[in-house]
Amino acid sequence: MRELTKSVLSFSWGLPLFGFSQLANSASPQRAAAAFDGVTRAAQGQLIGPLADGFAAGDRLQREMVDLMFAFFGPELLDPGRIMQRAGDIARRSVEAAGSFVPGCGGCGQGRRQS
């Protein structure tokens, strides 16, 4: 119990300091991104089973949402077909992500793709 208490307190102390260091890294977005990725991968490494699967699905979904958001402000803004394709991909992945949280679902959200 003593070691658990020490670990919780160290984590609680380290988290705001990490946030502060990320403010300092805001001048270097690549450095900040690498630091966030490192912490994310460390946390992800502690997840097992359905939590790991759910994290992976949610992470993919969030990353796709960011790509879609940036598409609206980039050159893809002028290509509605590309935006619609991306939106369809995100909708499909959302269903797959939701299915990964349903126990015993197996293939939920993995329907056939029409050509």
Question: What is the value of pTM for the model shown?
Answer: 0.57
pLDDT for the residue 34: 92
Share of the chain above pLDDT 70, in %: 83
Q: Rounded to an integer, what distance in angstroms lies between the CA atom of residue 71 and that of residue 78?
A: 9
Please state, as a whole number, how many other Cβ atoms lie within 10 Å of the Cβ of residue 44: 13
Taking 70 as the threshold, does the pLDDT of residue 104 lie above it? no
Task: Please report, for the chain, the start and end positions of each structural domain, with discontinuous segments joined by +.
Answer: 1-46, 49-110
Q: Return mean pLDDT, the chain.
A: 81
Q: Rounded to an integer, what distance in angstroms lies between the CA atom of residue 66 and that of residue 25?
A: 21
Q: Rounded to an integer, what distance in angstroms lies between the CA atom of residue 19 and that of residue 43?
A: 16
pLDDT for the residue 112: 47
Query: What's CA 86's distance to the chain center, in Å?
Result: 17
Kindly state the tokens that stand for 84: 């619609």
